[in-house]
Amino acid sequence: MEAHDHDHHPMLTDEVMPGYYEIMEIAVRELLIEKTLINPSEIRRQIEVLDSRTPALGAKVVARAWVDPGFRARLLANGRTACEELGISFYDDTQLIVLENTDKVHNLIVCTLCSCYPRSVLGLPPDWYKAKPYRARVVKEPRAVLEEFGTHIPDDVEICVSDSTAMIRYLVLPQRPAGTDDLSEEQLAALVTRDAMIGVVRVEI
Amino acid sequence: MSVADSAHASSGLRAVKALCEESDFKVGDRVRIAMRFPIGHYRVPTYVRGKQGVVKMILNPMAINNEEEGYGRNAGIKGRYYRVGILLSELWPGYTGPPQDQLVIEVFETWLERI
């Protein structure tokens, strides 16, 4: 393959040569544009949609569930419609199941086949979530993996690993930490991290 | 039985359900995930094939059969996914953690065998 500059690919910013699949994506994208099946502003818009999704949305959902028992019940019954109440759309047409952590069960999520992730509410997954060590190990020795994240789960608490390989996306509803009774909903949301909603850490003050 | 079902039963009315309208498996049913290794990409990871578990949730509505869809043979065929719980001690002989630890995974009905 000849080296060439990428002046005709204004969206490409890497300085290294693109890989095989990246080149295929560019070729397909440019063909679709050339055939006027999609237009560049639709692609830009979709990137804006993705960029607007961050763990702050998930944190807002969790904090609302902590302060509003009715919302919590609706969230556990149907994760998607409850998030939609807060204006969070499911642009990828996935359903969402919210897994509640309790004194009896600790949930965490993984996708062993690829990197399925609740992007609508959390944005892009962290690199370690997509990497093989996490995907391979967390279904086999979840307690050891959790310890590496600094999370100790006592033996009388069940570990429930949800492998998200097919239709549904999952979000963990962490336990509200003790000593937060006088915090506002916004202050509570600020405590909730991405990793807590994947289930690899607890929410701490 | 749902509220609507019991109301109909008490009034003597009964709507006959279409084939496949009700799920093949119910929550609590014990199932085995089939030990098959077809060529191609499937959404059932190999590590759960042949393992036994319990249906934890029925996922409605029915969804496209991705295995057929992936090979251009869909013809609108649909089926159900189930959330199946499998104990880690069943998945990994020699698992040293507490016996209640489990994995839950969505499995399409064509992969499930009743036990």
Q: What is the mean pLDDT of residues A17-37?
A: 94
pLDDT for A3 equals 47
Residue-wise pLDDT tens digits, B32-73? 999 999 887 788 999 999 999 999 999 988 888 877 887 888
Catalytic residue of the set A52, A83, A89, A116 = A116
Q: What is the pLDDT of residue A6?
A: 45
For chain A, the farthest-separated pair of C-alpha atoms sits apart, in whole angstroms, at: 64
Contact B71, B49 (CB under 8 A): no
CA B42 to mean position of chain CA atoms: 15
> Could B103 and A139 be called an inter-chain contact, meaning their C-beta atoms sit closer than 8 Å?
yes
C-alpha pair distances (Å), A26 with each of A21, A31, A151: 9, 8, 42
Active-site residue, A83 included: no
Chain A hits for B43, Cβ within 8 Å: 113, 165-166
* A115 carries an active-site annotation: yes
pLDDT of residue B6: 55
Q: In the 8-state DSSP scheme, what is residue A113?
A: S
Cβ–Cβ contact B30 with A under 8 A: no
pTM across the whole model: 0.87
